[in-house]
Homo-oligomer: A and B are copies of this chain.
Amino acid sequence: MEAKQYIEQNRDRFLEELFELLRIPSVSAQSSHKGDMVRAAEWLRDALLKAGADMAEVMPTEGNPVVFARKIVDPALPTVLVYGHYDVMPEDPIEEWKTVPFEPVVKDGRIWGRGANDDKGQLYMHAKAFETLVATGTLPCNVKFMLEGEEEIGSKSLYKWCEDNRELAAADIILVSDTSLIAWDVPSITCGLRGLCYMQVEVTGPDKDLHSGLFGGAVANPANVLAGMIAKLVDEQGHITIPGFYDDVRVLTPAEREAFNKAPFDLERYKQLIDIPDVAGEAGYTTIERTGVRPSLDVNGIWGGYTEEGTKTIIPSRASAKISMRLVPNQDYPKIAVLFEEYFRSLAPAGVRVKVEALHGGQPYVAPSDLPAYHAAEKAMEATFGKKPLPFYSGGSIPIISGFESILGIKSILMGFGLDRDAIHSPNESYGLDNFFRGIETITLFYKYFAELQK
């Protein structure tokens, strides 16, 4: 039987299995979900064994477990290591969901639910492509799986796991589906990822909330102060003002910029997709440059004082923010964290105390587009999409990818099948059925071409 036919015949079961995985609320950011992390890992171990793995294990770490599995067809053949993550983003703001986040449903040809795309939907394509090749007797190489539960919170345990399991993880290439296509009719392979430096700050004034009438005007208000400090981090031109921040940014040559800007991009469609009156950002750069090759700084959350219904007349004792920066080659996230902290502290007026904490980070990554594995991905996508995929620089981060190269010495191919409309990290995350099934088929073809090209 051909792979395509097998996938067609098992469509419903593949989906039912994915839904079981999606129902496990494996939110890594919230410690109340510790048990769900283990449940998801065990579920994946069992699923990979059923799919045809020789061995599959839930390997404990100091954090959430790593699921490792493999099928060694012949030690002389090349090996593909599949990476994915079973942890998902928190569901909040819960009131904006039109369906129940952890009760997936199919509607309008799409799977709706937290993790439908990121990354449960995408990683499960790999489990089912693997099953398809095993079941149809066409697996042309060795396969390993390395699935973690901390991607959304910095992959701390997987770095350690890689250091401790270099031999177990040994492979010729790492294959990852955790990225998006430029568009359904503009297939692409992600060649660049931004790095990340995620900070949390707290500004404290008085030791308790104060009556804003009795004290207002005489005491530094931590919420006003925090707003002022945040305002100073980015100037009117969209430049980040942290001294030294741009020192290591690799500046593109005019020829590179010209080539980069040739990628198809429809500004009106982009604005419409997210319903904004206009784009914004660093002066002198296009939108795709701003997200693809330039760093950014965003407040991810801010809170302080009275935030409920009605009015409360207080000077809050403290105000806090989560602030993260996306980095580009050759910025270094531990160095940026230090520069951020020094500068942020320097912005504080007398009358407040400041706390700065680095929550997590990762290095930027540039994937090579001249490897046999890249060409295998290119050929596989051309076969299923009918078009040669474009190389693409994503604004997102998968911090561990650069870790794979530095620790394991293995390059990664980022062949993802998501779309902008999937709203990953947002309420109403979804993933197209077409994307899911075409993804599975494309992955089976990747193995085929990869084995051929490695010969």
Determine the residue in chain B with the shortest Cβ distance to A424.
B211
- Report the separation of the CA atoms of residues A195 and B275 in the bound assembly, to the nearest whole angstrom: 40
| Copies of this chain assembled into the complex | 2
Separation in Å of the A150 CB from the closest CB of chain B?
10
Question: Would you list which residues of chain A between 303 and 354 have a CB under 8 Å from chain B?
Answer: 303-316, 319-322, 324, 326, 349-353
Is A300's CB under 8 angstroms from B280's CB? no
What residues of B have a CB within 8 angstroms of the CB of A208 in the complex? Answer: 96, 274, 423, 426-428
Is A92's CB under 8 angstroms from B29's CB? no
Is A227's CB under 8 angstroms from B302's CB? yes
Interchain CB contact (< 8 A) of A210 among B211, B310, B426: B426
What residues of B have a CB within 8 angstroms of the CB of A310 in the complex? Answer: 28-30, 90, 153, 359
- Report the separation of the CA atoms of residues A311 and B214 in the bound assembly, to the nearest whole angstrom: 36
Stretch of A18-26, A77-85, A252-260, A287-295 on the interface side:
A287-295
What residues of B have a CB within 8 angstroms of the CB of A306 in the complex? Answer: 90, 92, 300-301, 322
Is A314's CB under 8 angstroms from B395's CB? no
Is B296's CB under 8 angstroms from A217's CB? yes
Is A312's CB under 8 angstroms from B316's CB? no
Is B300's CB under 8 angstroms from A314's CB? yes
Separation in Å of the A186 CB from the closest CB of chain B?
15
> A281 interface residue, CB < 8 Å from B?
yes
> A394 interface residue, CB < 8 Å from B?
yes
Interchain CB contact (< 8 A) of A305 among B31, B220, B302, B312: B302
> A221 interface residue, CB < 8 Å from B?
yes
Is B397's CB under 8 angstroms from A280's CB? no
> A223 interface residue, CB < 8 Å from B?
yes
Known contacts A209-B425, A304-B301; A89 and B276 CB within 8 A of each other: no
> A234 interface residue, CB < 8 Å from B?
yes
Is A301's CB under 8 angstroms from B309's CB? no
What residues of B have a CB within 8 angstroms of the CB of A311 in the complex? Answer: 29, 152-154, 198, 300, 322, 324, 359-360
Is A308's CB under 8 angstroms from B90's CB? yes
Is B279's CB under 8 angstroms from A420's CB? no
Size bracket of the A interface? 35 or more
Is B313's CB under 8 angstroms from A303's CB? no
> A109 interface residue, CB < 8 Å from B?
no
Is B397's CB under 8 angstroms from A350's CB? no
Bitwise, A413-440 to B at CB < 8 A (1) or not (0) is 0000000100111111000000000000
> A52 interface residue, CB < 8 Å from B?
no
Is A395's CB under 8 angstroms from B302's CB? no
Is B217's CB under 8 angstroms from A312's CB? no
Interchain CB contact (< 8 A) of A300 among B96, B287, B309, B313: B313
What residues of B have a CB within 8 angstroms of the CB of A280 in the complex? Answer: 218-220, 349-351
Is A212's CB under 8 angstroms from B324's CB? yes
> A231 interface residue, CB < 8 Å from B?
yes
> A62 interface residue, CB < 8 Å from B?
no
Name 30 A/B residue pairs within 8 A (Cβ), A-sorted. Answer: A90-B308, A152-B311, A152-B312, A152-B313, A153-B310, A154-B311, A208-B428, A209-B427, A211-B396, A211-B424, A212-B324, A213-B291, A214-B420, A215-B274, A216-B297, A217-B296, A217-B326, A217-B395, A218-B280, A218-B281, A223-B321, A224-B231, A224-B298, A227-B227, A227-B230, A231-B232, A299-B319, A300-B305, A300-B316, A306-B322
Known contacts A93-B209, A206-B274, A207-B274, then 15 further A-B pairs from the complex at CB < 8 Å, ordered by chain A residue: A207-B275, A210-B274, A212-B324, A212-B425, A216-B291, A216-B326, A228-B231, A277-B350, A277-B353, A280-B350, A298-B315, A300-B311, A302-B304, A302-B307, A313-B397
